[in-house]
Chains A and B, each alone.
Chain A
Amino acid sequence: MIRRYGIGIVLSLLLLLLQPVLVAAAPLAERHVMENGLTLLVKSSRALPIVTIKVMVQAGSLWEQEGHAGLANLTALLLTRGTATRTAAQIDESVDFIGASLSSSADRDLSELSLTVLKKDLPKGLELLTDALLHPAFEQGEIARKMQELRAALRKRQEDPGEVAHEAFAELVFGGHPYGRPLEGREATLAAITRDEIVRFYRDHYTPERAAITVVGDVDRSEITDQIRTLLGSWSKGKATVKRAAEPTPLPEKIVVKKINRSVTQANIVLGHQGIRRDNPDFYTVTVMNYILGGGGFSSRLVERIREEKGWAYDVSSQFYPGLERGSFQVVLQTKNETAGPAVQEVVRELRRIREQGVTDQELADAKAHLTGSFPLRLDTNAKLAGLISIVEYYTLGLDYADRYRSLIEAVSKEDILRVARTYLKPEGYVLVVVADQAKAAFSE
Chain B
Amino acid sequence: MTATMRQRIQHLQRQGMGLAWMALCVILAPGLVDAQVTARVKESTLENGLKILLLEEHKAPVVTVHVWYRVGARNEQPGTTGLSHLLEHMMFKGTSKVGPGQFSRIIRRNGGRDNAFTSEDYTGYFETFASDRVELALELEADRMRNLVIDQKEAEAEKKVVMEERRLRTEDDPISALREAMGAAAFQAHPYRQPIIGWMTDIEGLAREDLVRYYNTYYVPNNAVLIVVGDFKSDELLPKIRHHFGAIPRAANPPVVRAVEPEQRGERRLVLRKEAELPFVFMGYHVPNLKHPDNFALEVLAYILSGGKSARIYKSLVYEKQLALFAGGGYDRESIDPNLFPLYASVMPGKTADEVEQALTAEIERVKNESIPDRELQKVKNQIEADFLFGQDSVFNLARQLAEYEIIAGWRAWEAYLPGIRAVTAADLQRVAKVYLTPDHRTVAVLIPEKIKK
Contact = CB atoms under 8 A, between A and B. Distances in A.
Contacts of B319: 88-89, 145
Contacts of B139: 11
B22 interface: yes
Interface string B66-103: 00000000000000000000000000100011111110
Interface size class for chain B?
35 or more
Contacts of A370: 108-109, 111
Contacts, number: 258
B164 A336 contact: yes
A380 B395 contact: yes
Nearest to A12: B106
A73 interface: yes
A442 B139 CA distance: 47
Interface in B15-58: 15-20, 22-23
Contact of B111 (A161, A310, A372): A372
A236 interface: no
A273 to B, nearest CB: 16
B382 A98 contact: yes
Interface string B154-168: 001111111111011
A204 B103 CA distance: 53
A99 B8 CA distance: 30
B136 A77 contact: no
Contacts of B204: none
A158 B16 contact: no
Nearest to A160: B173
A153 interface: yes
B10 interface: yes
B317 interface: no
B110 interface: yes
A4 interface: yes
Interface stretch (A104-112, A225-233, A281-289, A353-361): A104-112
A118 B131 contact: no
Contacts of B318: 149
Interface string B353-392: 0000000000000000000000100110011111101101
A25 interface: no
Contact of A298 (B101, B129, B278): B101
B112 interface: yes
B352 interface: no
A103 B24 CA distance: 11
B234 interface: no
A89 B392 CA distance: 29
B62 A376 contact: yes
Contacts of B106: 8, 12
A48 B168 contact: no
Given A5-B102, A260-B454, A149 B325 contact: yes
B309 interface: yes
B210 interface: no
A141 B8 CA distance: 39
26 contacts: A5-B99, A8-B98, A11-B136, A15-B133, A19-B132, A89-B310, A92-B309, A95-B309, A99-B385, A103-B20, A106-B18, A107-B15, A155-B277, A262-B275, A299-B108, A307-B161, A308-B157, A309-B157, A311-B159, A314-B168, A319-B10, A365-B109, A373-B111, A373-B112, A374-B130, A377-B130
Interface of B: 7-8, 10, 14-20, 22-23, 59-62, 92, 96-102, 104-106, 108-113, 128-133, 136, 139, 156-165, 167-168, 171-174, 275-278, 307-311, 315, 318-319, 322, 325, 346, 348-349, 375, 378-379, 382-387, 389-390, 392-395, 452-454
